[in-house]
Chain A
């Protein structure tokens, strides 16, 4: 891990450095790739964790930091990468994962927003693209995907925290993720997106209460992950579709990923149920990441065995 402190939050500059360092120190396994550019022209990188092999491997995609203020989310993506790299030689389960699966990790999706939340407004949520002649800023990137875009749980007012943009995939960050995932969709078995608070594992869909065709499988896998969490840490995660256990929303990346054919698509809302909300103190990073790692590992284990 090269001395990186995983129990503190880090500004984007340090996360960029971390990605470079992780690739350098683990060149046998990790490559860093450009995914696209943000509105403010910053480079979006993802990390590919892939053990060299002649075998065709399936992909687990994980993105973090779509909402700027949810700092625990990028912290988890980094924790996840650290755990895989630290343990793949000694942990038989992780070792087995890497024989069959590649991990693609996007540590911060909404880079412009994340930087803004560090430098200007800790509770900023959206991206930073200007609307209406610069009178308001930012699109909720998790309302901007092309999945029942604009139909429910969004606002068309650009001052709103859930402004869905001017059209589906109107934002460069959304397009970068969507184009890449579309290009790999036949190999991606599982799409995971990490959010900040509520202790929920959310399944598709948010835009309708009609369950997806593989709902039983989606629910069973998530329930097993939640049960493991309860058993080991006593943390009570709720499992269910977004529309049924949270609120209706359209244009989310999770719904979109499922509609393009990625069978297992989940949103994680991490540890807190409101005590700290979007401002989880740094001393909660480790316990949150440890328990989340267990739940994520359960899901990956299912994918791997399948």
Chain B
């Protein structure tokens, strides 16, 4: 999960919802909230984990479609390490 990011997106229109659903299935992204692309709704939070190699492409695509986003977790692996007991994460 090195440099994977979790983005928070709130789509505002049906078109944005549809584009996000397309991105989810094209990139096989890991939806955290909601869990299924069909549950993405306008005006509701979307949390999505984007693998590091796709982050820039994803952000470009969001910008292209005027979809604003916020980075919730800038590096998932760093958080994963923090959730491990100290001796285990130093062992890693």
* Residues of chain A whose beta carbon lies under 8 Å from any beta carbon of chain B: 8-10, 71, 122-123, 153, 155, 161-162, 198, 246-248, 274-283
Contacts and interface: CB of A to CB of B under 8 A. Distances in A.
B43 interface: no
A248 B6 CA distance: 23
Nearest to B34: A247
Contacts of B76: 123, 279
A278 B32 contact: yes
A274 B33 contact: yes
Interface string B7-46: 0100000000000000000000011111110010000010
B63 interface: no
B73 A162 contact: no
A279 B85 contact: no
A279 B72 contact: no
Contact of A247 (B8, B35, B47, B72): B35
Interface residues of B, number: 23
Contacts of B39: 153, 247-248
Interface of B: 1, 6, 8, 30-36, 39, 45, 47, 49, 72-73, 76, 79-80, 82-85
Most buried by B among A153, A279, A281, A282: A279
Given A247-B39, A274-B45, A274-B47, A282 B83 contact: yes
**Ordered nearest first, which 9 A-B pairs have the shortest CB separation?**
A281-B82, A279-B79, A247-B39, A247-B34, A8-B85, A122-B80, A162-B35, A274-B72, A274-B47
B21 to A, nearest CB: 14
Given A274-B32, A277-B73, A281-B83, 17 more contacts: A9-B83, A9-B85, A122-B1, A122-B83, A123-B1, A123-B49, A247-B34, A247-B39, A248-B39, A274-B6, A275-B72, A277-B33, A277-B47, A279-B83, A281-B82, A282-B84, A282-B85
